[in-house]
Amino acid sequence: ADGARVPALVIGTGYGGAVAALRLAEAGVDVHMLEMGMAWDVPGPDGKVFCNTREPDHRSYWLRTRTKAPVNYFIGLPLDRDIPRYTGILDAEEFGGITVYQGRGVGGGSLVNGGMAVTPRREDFGAVLPSVNPGEMYDVYYPRANAALGVGTVDPDWFESAACYQYTRVGRRHARRSGLPFVFVPDVYDWEYMEREAAGTATKSALAGEILYGNNHGKKSLQQTYLARARATGRVTVSALHRVASVAPASGGRYTVVVEQLDTGGGVTAVKSVTADRVFFAAGSVGTSKLLVKLKATGVLPLLNDEVGRDWGENGNVMCGRANHLWDPTGALQSAIPCGGIDNRASGRAFAEVAPLPTGIETFASFYLSITGNPHRARFSWNPVAGRVELDWQTAWKQPSIDMARSIFDRINAKEGTVYRSDLFGAYKIWGDHLTYHPLGGAVLNRATDGHGRLTAYPGLYVIDGALIPGNTTVNPFVTITALAERNIEKIIATDL
Ligand code: FAD
């Protein structure tokens, strides 16, 4: 309520925020979470909470009047459609040179993502978080995060015969024929539930094309894991459709947090003010960076250091499709949850998920999301004339990602005698290089913050999300975001409370 005072306020309900809330509550601290997106706990008119990728409606996108599907063409035909403007679940946030996809709602990115839960190889960790002791991460915090998130792997025997993973088996065969290692990719989807979907004994979610706009069944999002445990402590409350606009120093070492309550059309219906002893920025890499850069530049938090806004990267994301021969169909039924990848990290700095095209028809396409070692880093800055935070990412900066991904797919195409698909991202466009699903950085650990996420100029302010990670995790990022949050909150609880 307006004028309230809380011991700990968490901005955002994604991975970092959910870890902070649970561990603070377990330590006896009352926590209030503010989330700009919706609660996603009430069914819509069709009886479902979430809409399907094949029939996107008002629930699909955050305040857009037209969908902006990541794969937006098929056989050269545009797929996007008009939708009513609504506080939908997926934000396709457009900056100058890149569209950044993010989840909006209680659960953050866990609501929309593919659930792929990958721990980086230990030998790569020094490049991911150079100031963090790998021993404690691999012995304590990665295992803690994987257990709490409910990470599992497809049953290899079931995989071999499942119709819905023919696309992955084709991807494996092509990788192996080119001498590239295939690996199973762990996921938080309930694999036994998926087996029941395939057997026809459970309501279909992954096997009905659900992903991107939410899964009505099967996927263990943060709503089922960390956030459920946090609420069960009785110490955590959550306000959805509440967007933080400002965090300013107040008397007694506390902070005044200004919050805008939104309606489902995106309008501000009330402006509230809350006083907090401690504030945790967990609005995601982009959300946290935007807040901190604006608050520093506008003189609200002028002592934040000059590292704020820097070292932002897109985890080297790039997508592509390959056209298969007619004797290599990938299947009309494709599980929306990937379960395998091609690992060329060692010689090509590329890790490619064998991704579905869950269109419901045979496409004769193999589709991939590659995570690459793109070295480019961008910076957020405040534009006082426009009154907004901008990002200086350049479109051409994806070229290293494309080159790294080609270390896999040029090789496979040469071996198989196949070509790239050029109809998935617009006419004659091979590479999906206009976007990222994996924004990272902007308030990097040990640079913008101290070694545990403290914004030291302002005691009681912390960053605890993907903003801490300098641009790349070599694999899908949420396990690392979760494990790092577990490490930092343990230290903060032990020393600051
Ligand atoms: P988020 O999860 O982004 O949470 C931040 C929350 O803060 C959001 O709910 C947001 O609405 C809220 N917020 C922002 N600003 C404000 C504000 N001012 N006031 C109040 N609330 C605010 N990663 C993987 O590891 N595996 C995958 O398979 C995978 N697939 C993905 C697929 C898609 C389509 C997308 C979009 C992402 C995917 N990711 C995946 C990435 C992963 O979801 C993110 O890395 C992760 O969610 C980031 O966690 P976070 O805690 O930093 O922030």
| 174 is known as an active-site residue | no
| Catalytic residue (one of 353, 416, 486, 490) | 353
DSSP, collapsed to helix, strand or coil, labels residue 334 as coil
For residue 72, the model assigns a pLDDT of 85
* Centroid of ligand 1 to alpha carbon of 472 (angstroms): 15
342-390, pLDDT tens digit by residue?
Answer: 999 999 999 999 999 988 899 999 999 999 999 999 999 999 999 999 9
What percent of the chain shows pLDDT beyond 70? 100
Q: What are phi and psi of 7, to 5 degrees?
A: -65, -40
214 touches ligand 1 (CB under 6 Å): no
* Whether pLDDT at 132 is above 90: yes
Q: Given the CA of residue 476, which atom of ligand 1 is nearest to it?
A: 25
* Whether pLDDT at 1 is above 90: no
* Whether pLDDT at 37 is above 80: yes
* Whether pLDDT at 75 is above 80: no
For residue 79, the model assigns a pLDDT of 87
Supply the DSSP string of 287-323, one letter for each residue: HHHHHHHHHHHTTSSTTS-TTTT--BB-TT-EEEEEE
Taking residue 66's Cβ as centre, other Cβ atoms within 10 Å add up to: 10
Q: Given the CA of residue 116, which atom of ligand 1 is nearest to it?
A: 28
Q: What is the mean pLDDT of residues 313-332?
A: 96
* Whether pLDDT at 73 is above 90: no
* Centroid of ligand 1 to alpha carbon of 105 (angstroms): 9
For residue 360, the model assigns a pLDDT of 87
220 touches ligand 1 (CB under 6 Å): no
Q: Given the CA of residue 15, which atom of ligand 1 is nearest to it?
A: 51
Question: What global pTM score does this model have?
Answer: 0.98
466 touches ligand 1 (CB under 6 Å): yes
Encoded tokens for 135: 């021993």
**What ipTM was estimated for this complex?**
1.00
Q: Which residues on adjacent β-strands are paired with residue 66?
A: 82
* Whether pLDDT at 262 is above 90: yes
* Centroid of ligand 1 to alpha carbon of 427 (angstroms): 30
DSSP, collapsed to helix, strand or coil, labels residue 456 as coil
For residue 294, the model assigns a pLDDT of 98
For residue 2, the model assigns a pLDDT of 81
* Centroid of ligand 1 to alpha carbon of 402 (angstroms): 24
Q: What are phi and psi of 52, to 5 degrees?
A: -95, 150
* Whether pLDDT at 131 is above 90: yes
CA torsion sign, 69 to 187 to 473 to 322? negative
For residue 358, the model assigns a pLDDT of 86
Q: What is the mean pLDDT of residues 166-174?
A: 98
For residue 259, the model assigns a pLDDT of 98
Supply the DSSP string of 149-195, one letter for each residue: HT-B---HHHHHH-GGGHHHHHHHHHHHHTT--EEE--BSB-HHHHH
Nearest CA to ligand 1 atom 18: 244
43-54, pLDDT tens digit by residue?
Answer: 999 999 999 999
What contacts 177, CB < 8 A, 6 or more positions away? Answer: 412, 415, 416
* Whether pLDDT at 112 is above 80: yes
* Whether pLDDT at 111 is above 90: yes
* Whether pLDDT at 78 is above 90: no
405-464, pLDDT tens digit by residue?
Answer: 999 999 999 999 999 999 898 878 999 999 999 999 999 999 999 999 999 999 999 999
* Centroid of ligand 1 to alpha carbon of 468 (angstroms): 13
How far, in whole angstroms, is CA 430 from its chain's centroid?
24
For residue 336, the model assigns a pLDDT of 97
150 touches ligand 1 (CB under 6 Å): no
| Encoded amino acid at 433, one letter | D
- The chain-wide mean pLDDT, for the chain, equals 97
Cβ distance 242 to 35 under 8 Å? yes
| Catalytic residue (one of 32, 174, 242, 438) | 438
CA distance 426 to 417: 23
Dihedral (C-alpha) 252, 255, 261, 265: value to the nearest 10 degrees? 170
What contacts 482, CB < 8 A, 6 or more positions away? Answer: 15, 16, 19, 145, 148, 149
| 438 is known as an active-site residue | yes
Encoded tokens for 56: 């996107």
